Amino acid sequence: MLAAGFALGLLAGCSAQSRMDFYSKDIACEELGQHWTMPDSAGTLRGPKDLQGQVTYLFFGFTSCPDVCPTTMVELSQVKHLMGKDADQLQVVFVSVDPARDTPEVAHTYVHAFDPKAMALVGDEAQLSAMASDFKAFYEKEPGQLPDTYTMSHIAGGYVFDRQGRLRLFAPYGMPVEQLFSDVQRLLLEPEHPAAGSEALAACKLPHSASVAAR
């Protein structure tokens, strides 16, 4: 069961008139994804600072997901193919919403089947709840059709970080690969220094009327 509509409702833009630079939803002003930690499949504790240096696509899912998660991984592989020699400049991060079944080993094997350089994050229930809250990401366990079975509903789509480790975009599930590729390329074209992309964040601090007038 998809929660894309729910996610888009939560991730409202910075103003009524959004910037047209990206195909994805511009959420630079939302202050999401800034205060989280989660162990990766090797047990190393990760956080926002670990996303610096590359553009990062982070999404929530589970390895038993029948459609959204494998489709997302395949589409990200297609984006990397379009990037050619720059493919390593896109880091894929998978956050499991099913830690009871997705052991670190299972999650590692799953993501590496699609992308040998993808990162899997698997924590306990408390860590998952805290991280999902920081992203305003929805997930929920649902009973399965057979006794003692279940599936997971979760937010569909990905959070895109720039090379400074700042959350900039929400890419809705199902957006064309070419559009996601374009958004990743736009972020990569920003200069690689701390001030890069600062105009997007500076607009967040302006009054609404001034922000609109500045565009």
Tokens coding 83: 């990037």
CATH of the domain at 61: 3.40.30.10
Q: What is the DSSP string of 116-165?
A: TT-EEE---HHHHHHHHHHHT--EEEEE-SSTT-EEEEE--EEEEE-TTS
**Which residue shows structure tokens 């926002």?**
48
- Percent of the chain exceeding pLDDT 70 equals 80
Name the pLDDT band for 130 (thresholds 50, 70, 90).
very high
Q: What is the mean pLDDT of residues 18-34?
A: 85
Residue 120 has, within 13 A of its CA and on its CB side, a CA count of 28
Is residue 212 scored above 50 in pLDDT? no
pLDDT one-digit tens code per residue, 156-195: 999 999 999 999 999 999 999 999 999 999 999 998 765 5
> How many structural domains are present in the chain?
1
The predicted pLDDT at position 22 comes to 95
H or E stretch at 90:
strand 90-96
> 8 lies in which domain range?
4-214
